[in-house]
Chains A and B, each alone.
Chain A
Amino acid sequence: MKEEKILVIDDDDDILKITQLNLEKLGYRVLLSRNGDDGFQKIQMVKPDLVITDFMVPKMSGIEIFKKDKRKIS
């Protein structure tokens, strides 16, 4: 198991599942989120190494999440 944590944000459960399955096979620890608000909270809490977000997610767009968090994660 690798150390890195990846957060995936998408409102489509199937997209989340497929992305999770593939990333877990690569050995990453995967966290999932179905909307922008929740995704942003998870970023604060678990500080993932990489965030993969859909462009259009409910409650906060992918770009908004990114802008709001730019200082905090690389």
Chain B
Amino acid sequence: MTAYGSRKVAIDAMKKGADDYVIKPFIPEELSLIVEKHIENKSVRKENVNLKEKLEEREKKIKMIQSRNLKKNSIYYGNKDNKIRLSSEYVKIAEIVAQEFINPLSIFSGYLQFLIKHGDKDKSILVKMDKTLDKVKKSFKDLVFFSNSEKNIIFELVHINHIIDEVLREVEEKFLEKDIRLIKNFHIDIPNIKADSNQIYCALYNLVLNAIYFTENNGEISILTKYNSSKMYIEITDNGKGIAKENLSKILTPFFTTKPPGKGLGLGLSIVNNVIQNHNGIIQIKSKINRGSSFIIIIPRSL
């Protein structure tokens, strides 16, 4: 199996000795034909029965479905005459965005196709479908938030500890999934600050999600809040894989990500950066490879 659009990888794998390939997102019919072909192939060899014709028939059908699938997956930008030449940076961003939506949507459609074909009383498939839509929603939200984070800022009195607790409730399941230990070092008497609570929530949500993603199972994440006469500090530290030196200067750049395609738009930290700047704050990043990373947000208490 290989991801969307990586036919080259598949062909390379075949050269190295794989028997066949399926490109994700596959359609169920394609998968079943390929599987039956190889299972039969094996029994043919065993029983020495000549099923060659039947296999060839199937081969033809698979090729037909694969080429139909390929056509369906191709993106056309119009014909030669009116082809728009985009800079490679835009093309890369378009690819990242496309992949981000194609992956969960094809998973969604995979479940849906199964339900259409077989029906199922089991509600767990519907729950999984709902979760894949959540991923799409998160990506859309990130895009929208990123494109207008400077507009519509509403300053009000916010309690940082409460916002972090809200974020932690939202991601509780993810902590449990990876068995990550959470250490809260909140200053109890932290004063309210004037800030946009939605934006601060979004920034902290992205920082915590990132920390979880880059922390191994059974790892540790600590969150600290403190203040002095003029500033508010929020520090999120993980003991995950850390950030390579050459990437440290890039991680705040929009659409930069070290995650594999389809696992994130690369907007999280640039959203964080925008939010902090909207609040006249700064962000400090300390990281050591294989030891972990620390993100320190410093916001002035009065704007």
Chain A residues packing against B (C-beta within 8 Å): 4, 6, 10, 12, 14-15, 17-19, 21-23, 25-26, 28, 49-50, 52-56, 62-63, 66-67, 70, 74
The reply on B78 being an interface residue by CB < 8 A is no
Task: Establish whether residues B128 and A22, one from each chain, have CB atoms under 8 Å apart when the complex forms.
Answer: no
Within 8 A of A (CB), among B94-132: 107, 110-111, 114, 117-118, 125, 128, 132
Please give, as numbers and ranges, the residues of chain A lying within 8 Å of B42 by CB-CB distance: 49-50, 74
**With A15-B107, A17-B128 in contact, is A22–B6 under 8 Å at CB?**
no
Please give, as numbers and ranges, the residues of chain A lying within 8 Å of B260 by CB-CB distance: 56
Residue of A nearest to B263 (CB): A12
Within 8 A of A (CB), among B1-48: 1-3, 6, 9-10, 13, 16-18, 22, 24, 28, 31-32, 35-36, 38-39, 42, 45
17 example contacts (A-B, Cβ-Cβ < 8 A) are as follows A14-B111, A15-B24, A18-B114, A22-B32, A23-B32, A28-B35, A50-B42, A52-B1, A52-B22, A55-B1, A55-B2, A55-B6, A55-B13, A62-B13, A63-B16, A67-B16, A74-B42
What distance in Å separates the Cβ of A34 from its nearest Cβ neighbour in chain B? 12
Q: Which of B28, B45, B107 contacts A22 (CB 8 A)?
A: B28
Please give, as numbers and ranges, the residues of chain A lying within 8 Å of B35 by CB-CB distance: 6, 23, 26, 28, 50, 52
Grouping DSSP codes into helix (H, G, I), strand (E, B) and loop, the B interface class, with mixed when no group exceeds half, is helix
Please give, as numbers and ranges, the residues of chain A lying within 8 Å of B107 by CB-CB distance: 12, 14-15, 18
Chain B residues packing against A (C-beta within 8 Å): 1-3, 6, 9-10, 13, 16-18, 22, 24, 28, 31-32, 35-36, 38-39, 42, 45, 107, 110-111, 114, 117-118, 125, 128, 132, 260
Please give, as numbers and ranges, the residues of chain B lying within 8 Å of A18 by CB-CB distance: 107, 110-111, 114
CA distance A41 to B290 in the complex (A): 27
What distance in Å separates the Cβ of B256 from its nearest Cβ neighbour in chain A? 20
Task: Establish whether residues B1 and A10, one from each chain, have CB atoms under 8 Å apart when the complex forms.
Answer: yes
Please give, as numbers and ranges, the residues of chain A lying within 8 Å of B6 by CB-CB distance: 55
Please give, as numbers and ranges, the residues of chain A lying within 8 Å of B118 by CB-CB distance: 21, 25
Q: Report, nearest first, the 6 A-B pairs whose CB atoms are least far apart.
A: A18-B110, A55-B2, A14-B107, A54-B1, A22-B28, A21-B114
